[in-house]
């Protein structure tokens, strides 16, 4: 007699199962227990064979068990009652989830107590803030910024009130101002953040406690513009904090932009706009921290894409595109100083190919395309262009400005 299967159950056959082995066997044993018929469950191969033989050779026993099974099935056992089954499964899943939560290691709070840790923290802050400006719908970036903000506020809550002003002038103070001015406050609070903000708000009311200013600085990182007002701020807030408070919370232009920014936040941008925003964001990051390896790698990819774009552009469109927004972001990368980074082996080979194309002469438009690409990798003096009059009028001023910029850096 086979193990439990839809075939045997639908046919009303008596089945014998072993309480070991496959999932189907274990499931069948569980169903028989639910029907209160445990004597059809065998716990060994020998007992399984004996029970199956007895049923095969004893029609009366087989009929008795068949009727017993049919009777039990007509009583709507628990495993056929979908509502009861769902409730039980819900309880089990809740217990499993609670056990999982309890066993999760608690996130350790980062202590900003050394220059190295502070620099690493600020580098991460700037990186994620700039990525956030490019991809405000990226929940992973938003969550990273939530963690960065939590570390920041925990630090400021520990500062003695008399040391706040001095701390505000340090790199961490600048990091606080960056976080304050980039709009993370417009993100909806999580339940945990909402509870935290409510607690801090109670402690900051009236600015009467010695550490009320600490709490106010924390709240400024969570409340969006227009949602928090300090009465008579000019007389109650210190001058070193007043300027940023007024910029974020009393600036009519900023307050008016809160709702529109939320409405338009999910409107799709074109691929060109996304590329331009990414380029500008990465260049800004590079200027702040040129040693950030991830930003350098991002800029290498952007540079290659931009070079390929120029090389693949139709010659008749070159001037008009250069004078468009594409030309503007090209110049942003051109003047960033990124061309001074050491080239990879792949980039060196790419430059050799471009150089061979440029040897054909600057009076050919295809050679100008190669020049636009190669300038993203090389400094002007490396190209040794003697007669600048051979450059097109729409490009020559930028080339001259780039040459002057490089010379100024050297001096």
For residue 381, being part of any structural domain is answered with: yes
Residues 6+ apart with CB under 8 A from 281: 130, 131, 133, 134
Q: Is the pLDDT of residue 319 over 80?
A: yes
Say yes or no: 163 and 251 in one domain: yes
Answer whether 159's CB lies under 8 Å from 241's CB: no
Say yes or no: 222 and 332 in one domain: no
For residue 264, being part of any structural domain is answered with: no
Predicted pLDDT at 145: 92
Give whichever of 38-52, 136-150, 274-288 has the largest mean pLDDT. Answer: 136-150
Domain that holds residue 213: 115-259
Predicted pLDDT at 18: 77
**pLDDT tens for each residue of 353-408:** 888 777 755 456 778 888 889 899 988 777 777 777 778 888 888 888 888 765 55
**pLDDT tens for each residue of 166-212:** 999 988 898 898 898 888 888 888 888 988 988 888 777 766 777 88
Mean pLDDT of 65-85: 72
Say yes or no: 174 and 63 in one domain: no
Q: Is the pTM of this model over 0.85?
A: no
DSSP string, 297-332: HHHHHHHHHHHHHHHHS-GGGHHHHHTSHHHHHHHH
Predicted pLDDT at 260: 36
**Residue of 83 and 38 predicted with greater confidence:** 38
For residue 48, the domain's CATH number is 3.40.50.2000
Predicted pLDDT at 21: 66
Q: Which residues pair with 41 in a beta bridge?
A: 17
Q: Is the pLDDT of residue 410 over 60?
A: no
Predicted pLDDT at 379: 81
Query: pLDDT-based confidence at 100, cuts 50/70/90?
Result: low
Say yes or no: 189 and 241 in one domain: yes
Q: Is the pLDDT of residue 75 over 90?
A: no
Q: What percent of the chain has pLDDT over 70?
A: 80
């Amino acid at each position: 007699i086979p193990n439990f299967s839809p075939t045997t159950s639908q046919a009303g056959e008596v089945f014998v199962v072993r309480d070991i082995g496959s999932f189907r066997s274990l499931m069948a044993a569980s169903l028989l227990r639910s029907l209160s018929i445990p004597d059809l469950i065998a716990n060994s191969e020998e007992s399984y064979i004996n029970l199956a033989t007895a049923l095969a050779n004893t029609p009366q026993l087989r009929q008795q068990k068949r009727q017993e099974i049919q009777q039990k099935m007509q009583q709507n056992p628990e495993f056929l009652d979908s509502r009861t089954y769902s409730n039980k499964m819900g309880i089990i899943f809740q217990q499993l989830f609670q056990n999982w939560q309890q066993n999760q290691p608690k996130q350790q709070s980062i202590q900003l107590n050394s220059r190295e840790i502070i620099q690493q923290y600020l580098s991460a802050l700037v990186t994620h803030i700039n990525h956030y400006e490019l991809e405000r719908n990226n929940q992973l970036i938003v969550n990273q910024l939530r963690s960065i903000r939590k570390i920041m506020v925990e630090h400021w809550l520990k500062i003695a009130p008399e040391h706040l002003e001095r701390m505000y002038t340090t790199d961490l103070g600048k990091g606080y101002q960056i976080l304050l001015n980039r709009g993370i406050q417009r993100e909806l609070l999580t339940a945990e953040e909402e509870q935290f903000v409510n607690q801090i708000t109670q402690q900051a009311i009236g600015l009467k406690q010695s550490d009320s200013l600490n709490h106010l600085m924390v709240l400024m990182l969570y409340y969006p513009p227009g949602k928090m007002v300090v009465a008579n701020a000019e007389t109650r807030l210190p001058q070193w904090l007043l300027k940023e408070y007024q910029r974020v919370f009393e600036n009519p232009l900023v307050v008016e932009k809160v709702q529109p920014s939320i409405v338009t936040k999910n409107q799709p941008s074109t691929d060109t706009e996304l590329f331009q925003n990414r380029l500008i964001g990465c260049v800004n990051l590079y200027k702040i921290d040129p040693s950030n390896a991830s930003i350098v790698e991002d800029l290498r990819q952007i540079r290659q894409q931009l070079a390929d774009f120029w090389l693949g552009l139709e010659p008749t469109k070159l001037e008009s595109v250069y004078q468009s927004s594409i030309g503007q972001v090209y110049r942003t990368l051109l003047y960033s100083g990124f061309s001074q980074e050491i080239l990879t082996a792949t980039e060196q080979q790419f430059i050799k190919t471009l150089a061979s194309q440029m040897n054909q002469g600057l009076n050919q438009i295809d050679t100008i395309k190669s020049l636009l690409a190669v300038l993203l990798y090389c400094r002007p003096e490396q190209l040794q262009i003697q007669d600048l009059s051979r450059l097109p009028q729409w490009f020559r001023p930028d080339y001259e400005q780039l040459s002057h910029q490089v010379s100024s850096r050297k001096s």
